[in-house]
Structure 1
Amino acid sequence: MNIGEGIANTPIIYSLYQRCLNFETKKEAEKALTALLNEVNEGTYIEPSKQTYREYMDAWLKSKEHDLSVQTLKAYMSYLKTHIIPNLGRLPLATITPLHIQGFISSLRSKGLSETTTKRIFNVVNASLNSAVKLELIKKNPASLIEKPKVAAKETTVWTVKEISLFLEYSKSSPYYTAFLLAVTTGMRQGEVLGLQWRDVDFENECLYIRQTLTHDGKGFKEGAKSKAGNRSIGLDAFTVSALKQQRKTIVANKLKYGSAYGEYDLVACTNKGKPINPRNLLRTFDNIIKKASLPKIRFHDLRHTHASLMLQQGENIKLISERLGHSSVKITLDTYSHVLPNMQKEASNRLAQQLFNS
């Protein structure tokens, strides 16, 4: 009996059978058709989308407008226009294979793009295809079946306690002192520091809440943190609480001084007129203070790494540190600060030996 016998009057099944005729051997065709028949019988069959990848990406990006920061959205649009659409845009969404994705990655590398940029572009494609699976436009994500671009972890440079103290001493006269102090004592990200509002500082319980961030270009705010885990509370030490109270007095004085010209953003770290601090000005001042104090050159973000590393070195609970940093899992914290762990293990071994043999 012919494999197509008895199914010609079933349009979907017959079309699947027709598609199977493209296989090189009858055995391959029969195997594929059996799998497709099972999908139909089990109700898991997904009719292939007729959209091109370009059409799908236009709709997908529009759906992400409210979820992404302005900066991220700009980056996505640039990747789309320059790299993704010219390569994959013309292909029907349902026909994209792992081979297409692998070829796309190879083409990015042949352009001389860094592995970091290549990975970022791949992540956009991968995320869009994951959404297509959830929307039942395709059955599987072809990008999930290839070896993903890998970026070697960069070694982070952190300061010692002595270097931090010297930096804070030199930055006391800076209008950005509060921002620098918060970065050091809380491990907050730059956008979180510059977006912090007074309503989110709890003096009574000596903690603050991350509920808003300033965008990278300094032109707007984004509700919430970088991720769901980023919406968190962070305990404050007595020194930082005292510094924040002093900053609040300075702001009250500036409000009286500038009157209606004072910006009502309720920001903790802000300009004299209450407006958001321009991230470029913050980083320029940060670099200048480092030079004046003759300190090892680090990035502003490395203040966050310094905070975490020092807390690990003093034996704080890894879960607590992970929560302070707003990591979605302890694994991220461990992977990021694995360079600190060997010394901690040695110190832990010495402490145990001290108890065992010198008691």
Structure 2
Amino acid sequence: MTAKRKKMTMRRFGAVRQYRSGRWTASYLDPTGERRRAPGTFETKADAEVWLSQVEADITRGAWRDPDAGAVNFEEYATKWVVERGVAPLTVELYTRLLRLHILPGLGRLDLDEITPPRVREWRAERLSSTGAATTVAKSYRLLKAILETAADDELIRRNPCRIRGAGKEVSQSGQVATVEQVDALAEAVGIRWRLMVYLGAYGPMRPEEQAELRRKDVNVENVTIVVRKAAPELATGVRVEGPTKSEAGKRLVVLPAFLATDLRRHLDWYAEKGPEGLLFVGEKGAPFRRSTFGRRWRKARERVGMPSNFRFYDLRHTGHTLSTRSGATLKDTMVRAGQSTEKAALIYQHSDHDRQKEVAGGLDRMVRAARERARDKPDQAAGGAEVVRDT
């Protein structure tokens, strides 16, 4: 005859029972009144009672978590997380790409509570080994950590398993900075319709997506200023998305060096769309600025001038940062000028007002004029050979 189970032993909290195999199980009523059983069995009655005591302690201090809460597929949760962030289209595109290429292949099939610290370490090591792209892996790790931090806030997991110190930090890359002569050469080589875009990139310094959404009403030729209100990034699909700037700091009044007054006036007269809402930059056929089309023109201009093949249009911002600093601007001045904002900076840096920005633009104007004067004294000076400095 098959041996029967031993009678359940009731306790002040929960109950323990011995199976015919000799092992023990435990159960308890959760805060909602539902009976919960231990996920496994115990070798001794004492082990089962210790487990119950731990559960009771969690309930008493409000730390108890539904053991089934983490049984949520990570891919489903992460996909929903991206949609609910409400971030800019370019950021959505970045998150989606990082998930698809680097995170979901290794972790997508798991439930949230199955993503443990060892699994995170294994995933990161595999990505570093197979891709060799430390910067991309750091971005992917930051995204994974942010998603799982929300899962912890939602009480779907007890604690964020992303605990690798420094794993989300990117190694600082050296940004290439052009000289004044090289910026002038690029502006000439890119063509008269687009030369102002080069100058605004360097001396604004404005992001390409900010320039793509500039309107005639944003330009004040008399004061040599431009108001940045919105941005129009172009996604990898070629779709132009009009929307807010990268951050609130991106909405700003940019005081330009005085030498750009002529270029501003000429561009408005010759190329900008008519009317206050007319776009500042449009193509030969009247279409809005397209990154893909301009990119081909930029590469040809870069080659003609003799600049390195990895000198990006975005590196003009590095140029603007560096030249502004050399002309006397402080870090807070360059941050305001470039529309940069970080949580840390918001706590540390004070406001750089309009008068101070006029002083910075004045210093930049004097520097550029002096460099051009020196270049005229040395007409045989080569345009190529961008200097490489630490990005500031």
Give the TM-score range, shorter chain.
0.7 to 0.9
Q: C-alpha offsets along residues 176-233 of structure 1, whole Å, 9 cap, x if unaligned?
A: 1121111011111121222222343355763412422322445212411223333333
Alignment of 1:144-183 (within 5 A): 144-145=163-164, 147-148=166-167, 150-171=169-190, 173-183=191-201
1:7 aligns with 13
Amino acid at match of 1:164: V
Label 1:95 to 1:247 Cα distance change in 2 as closer, same or farther (>3 A): same
Q: 2:216 touches 2:279 (CA, 8 Å); kept in 1? A: yes
* Higher relative strand content: 2
Could you tell me which residue of structure 2 aligns to residue 51 of structure 1? Answer: 72
Picking from 133, 151, 154, the partner of 2:152 is 133
Per the alignment, residue 40 of structure 1 pairs with 59
Change (3 A) 1:202 1:37: farther
**Structure richer in helix, relative to its length:** 1
Partner of 2:161: 142
**Residues in 1 aligned to 2:330 and 2:255: alpha-carbon distance in whole angstroms:** 14
Aligned residue number for residue 215 of structure 2: 197
1:270 aligns with 2:288: no
User: Is the contact between residue 192 and residue 225 of structure 1 (CA under 8 Å) also seen in structure 2?
Assistant: yes
Distance in 2, matches of 1:126 and 1:95, equals: 15
Query: Per the alignment, do residues 78 and 318 of structure 1 end up closer, same or farther by CA in structure 2, a change over 3 Å counting?
Result: closer
Contact 1:157 1:302 in 2 (8 A): yes
Read off the aligned partner of 1:179 and give its amino acid letter.
M
> Any idea what SS the aligned residue of 2:177 has?
coil
CA contact (8 A) 1:194 1:213 kept: yes
| C-alpha distance in 1 between matches for 2:88 and 2:391 | 33
- Matched-pair contact (CA < 8 Å) for 1:119–1:149: yes
Which has the greater radius of gyration?
2
Alpha-carbon deviation of 1:78?
4.2
Tell me how far 1:20 sits from its aligned partner: 9.1
Identity over the aligned pairs, expressed in percent? 23
Q: Name the counterpart of 2:328.
A: 315
Which position in structure 2 is the counterpart of 1:188? 206
**For 1:74 and 1:22, how far apart are their aligned partners in 2?**
48
Q: What is the deviation of 1:312? A: 0.9
Moved over 6 A (4+): 13-17, 20-24, 26-29
**Which runs of structure 2 are paired with 1:1-359 in the superposition (5 Å)?**
5-8=11-14, 11-12=29-30, 18=38, 30=50, 34=54, 37-47=56-66, 48-64=69-85, 66-69=86-89, 71-145=90-164, 147-148=166-167, 150-171=169-190, 173-202=191-220, 206-217=225-236, 218-251=238-271, 266-295=278-307, 298-329=311-342, 339=390
Mapped to 1, the partners of 2:78 and 2:343 lie a distance apart of 33
Query: CA-atom RMSD, angstroms?
Result: 3.9
Distance 1:37 1:245, change over 3 A: farther
TM norm structure 2: 0.69
- C-alpha distance in 2 between matches for 1:242 and 1:23: 86
Shift of 1:101: 0.9
Counting matched residue pairs gives 325
Distance in 2 between the 1:215 and 1:319 partners?
A: 29
Displacement of 1:158 in angstroms is 0.7
Q: Compared with structure 1, are the counterparts of its residues 28 and 281 closer, same or farther at alpha carbon in structure 2 (3 Å cutoff)? A: farther
Q: Is the 8 A contact 1:115 1:149 kept in 2?
A: no
Contact 2:188 2:195 in 1 (8 A): no
What's the CA shift for 1:146?
5.3
- Give me the whole-angstrom Cα distance separating, in 2, the residues matched to 1:136 and 1:185: 48
In structure 2, distance between residues paired with 1:68 and 1:338: 30
Q: Measure, in 2, the Cα distance between the counterparts of 1:160 and 1:323.
A: 22
Checking the alignment, whether the CA contact within 8 Å between 1:312 and 1:340 is kept in structure 2 is no
Instruction: State whether residues 60 and 128 of structure 1, in contact with CA within 8 Å, keep that contact through their aligned partners in structure 2.
Output: yes
Summarize the Cα distance change of 1:294–1:90 in structure 2 as closer, same or farther, 3 Å threshold: closer
Structure 1: give runs of 5+ residues left out of the alignment.
257-263, 342-359
Secondary structure of residue in 2 paired with 1:327 = coil
